Amino acid sequence: MIARLDAWCVAAVALGLAALATAPVADGGWMDVPALLGVVALTGIVCAASVRHGVTALWHSAVLVLLVVAGAAVSLDVVHAAGEQRVGPGFWLANLALWAVAWRGIDGVAAFRCMEPGRQKFFDLMVPAAFGLWLLYLWEIGVVGFGVPQVLLPAPGMIGERFVGSLDILWSDFRQTFLKAVLGGYLIGCGSGFLVSILVDRVPFLQRGLLPLGNMVSALPIVGVAPIMVMWFGFDWQSKAAVVVIMTFFPMLVNTVTGLAAAGAQERELMRSYAAGYWRTLFKLRLPSAMPFVFNALKINSTLALIGAIVAEFFGTPIVGMGFRISTEVGRMNVDMVWAEIAVAALAGSAFYGAVALAERTVTFWHPSYRERR
């Protein structure tokens, strides 16, 4: 088989040479030269390593990823050293070359398959992590390189500095909003919705009367419900938990009722042939069949709960909380603090969703969607 050159690496070489040709080397504009020299060396190595037979080996992809990391570090140093002086087109062409090499390297990692579950899981997680880090890198060089005002969009580095410097404030806000309002309202809303769904399943006329009412209540806007809850339950976390209960109750109710009806007719007839009553059929057959629907509601509610609690804090809260901090710092033009709170909310929401998804995998391991592909 004749060795052939990878198209992405050809693009990287071409972009690297174009970056070198357009580098601002006159009038003291040598700021781009370190990055461009790195790209030229990078593309040379890539050109040598990209000649392949069939699928690119994993070590080739690892080398490409490491070289991209080194090139990105040089580019960050260059763009921050430029200060008010704008980087030239060679800098952006160099980063396009890095992007081409990064694409090739991550594509090889994503295509990797092995029989060891732990090792395969590591490489599966590496792909989205690398993609997220690359987006943060593009955000950083884009904001700094184009001189975007901090009020409009701060750089991730600035947000990170504010995050580290305000850990005590962020922890107080997280405890007030997430640990108290979100978790409290989530447990009450999902638990009550689950219990009422069993009652609705047991009493048929409630299904015809309560579910349409539930659909209407679930359509109520948060901005209309939150002020009322603040008037009823006060300014502390209890009113935000009440908003979370309203937002999570009916999704759990509707999904669980649907799941309880998902058991097959043949399975139900088999339970009747065993002389099983309602409750035994419920616990042995119908609830296990409904678990995918229940966890679907739990995952949906994990995001709705956080959104509801943060929005509810805009309408009255003590001087602590994520929503309070966001609304206050926006008025003070401290946008980096706003983004730090957003980062905390994103991390908390992702961790919460991941915990529910992990519990779903543990409970519904029998479901066809979780069968391992050999």
Residue 99 falls inside a structural domain: yes
Q: Provide the pLDDT for residue 374.
A: 42
Q: Provide the pLDDT for residue 54.
A: 40
Residues 65 and 204 occupy one common structural domain: no
Domain stop point among 117, 148, 179: 148
Residues 118 and 217 occupy one common structural domain: no
Nearest to 74 by CA among 50, 48, 40, 106: 40
Residues 13 and 73 occupy one common structural domain: yes
Higher pLDDT, 307 or 115: 307
Q: Provide the pLDDT for residue 299.
A: 92
In the structure, what pLDDT confidence band is assigned to residue 254 with cuts at 50, 70 and 90?
confident
Residue 157 falls inside a structural domain: no
In the structure, what pLDDT confidence band is assigned to residue 298 with cuts at 50, 70 and 90?
very high
Residues 126 and 240 occupy one common structural domain: no
C-alpha distances out from residue 275 to 201, 210, 288, Å: 20, 31, 19
CA distance 238 to 6: 59
Q: What percent of the chain lies above the pLDDT cut of 90?
A: 7
Residues 42 and 112 occupy one common structural domain: yes
Residues 281 and 189 occupy one common structural domain: yes
In the structure, what pLDDT confidence band is assigned to residue 261 with cuts at 50, 70 and 90?
confident
Residue 143 falls inside a structural domain: yes
For residue 187, pLDDT beyond 90: yes
For residue 24, pLDDT beyond 70: no
Domain stop point among 148, 176, 192: 148
Q: What is the pLDDT of residues 323-344, one digit of tens each?
A: 888 888 887 888 888 899 999 9
Q: Provide the pLDDT for residue 84.
A: 64
Residue 176 falls inside a structural domain: yes
Residues 191 and 237 occupy one common structural domain: yes
Residues 230 and 142 occupy one common structural domain: no
Q: What is the pLDDT of residues 201-211, one digit of tens each?
A: 887 777 777 77
Average pLDDT score, the chain: 76
Q: Provide the pLDDT for residue 135.
A: 87
Residue 248 falls inside a structural domain: yes
Q: Provide the pLDDT for residue 36.
A: 57
Residues 306 and 176 occupy one common structural domain: yes
Can you give the C-alpha Rg of the chain in angstroms? 27
CA distance 296 to 316: 31
Residue 341 falls inside a structural domain: yes
Range 33-44 average pLDDT: 59
Residues 312 and 267 occupy one common structural domain: yes
CA distance 55 to 113: 12
In the structure, what pLDDT confidence band is assigned to residue 97 with cuts at 50, 70 and 90?
confident
Tell me which residue range forms the domain holding 197. Answer: 164-370
Q: Provide the pLDDT for residue 11.
A: 65
Q: How many domains does the chain have?
A: 2
Domain stop point among 93, 119, 148: 148
Q: What is the CATH number of the domain that holds 350?
A: 1.10.3720.10
Residue 314 falls inside a structural domain: yes
Residues 171 and 137 occupy one common structural domain: no
Residue 1 falls inside a structural domain: no
Range 189-195 average pLDDT: 91
**50 and 100 Cβ atoms separated by less than 8 Å:** no
Nearest to 190 by CA among 322, 321, 314, 293: 293
In the structure, what pLDDT confidence band is assigned to residue 278 with cuts at 50, 70 and 90?
confident
For residue 83, pLDDT beyond 70: no
The number of CA neighbours under 13 Å toward the Cβ of 33 is 7
For residue 188, pLDDT beyond 90: yes
Strands (E), 76-208: none
Q: Which of 65-79, 105-119, 162-176, 272-286 has the highest mean predicted lDDT (pLDDT)?
A: 162-176
Lowest mean pLDDT among 95-99, 130-134, 250-254: 95-99
Q: Provide the pLDDT for residue 365.
A: 74
Residues 180 and 112 occupy one common structural domain: no
Question: Which burial class, exposed, middle or buried, applies to 172 when counting CB atoms under 10 A from its CB (0-12, 13-18, 19+)?
Answer: middle
Q: What is the pLDDT of residues 193-244, one digit of tens each?
A: 899 888 888 877 777 777 777 777 777 777 777 788 888 887 788 888 888 9
Q: What percent of the chain lies above the pLDDT cut of 70?
A: 73
pTM (2 decimals)?
0.76
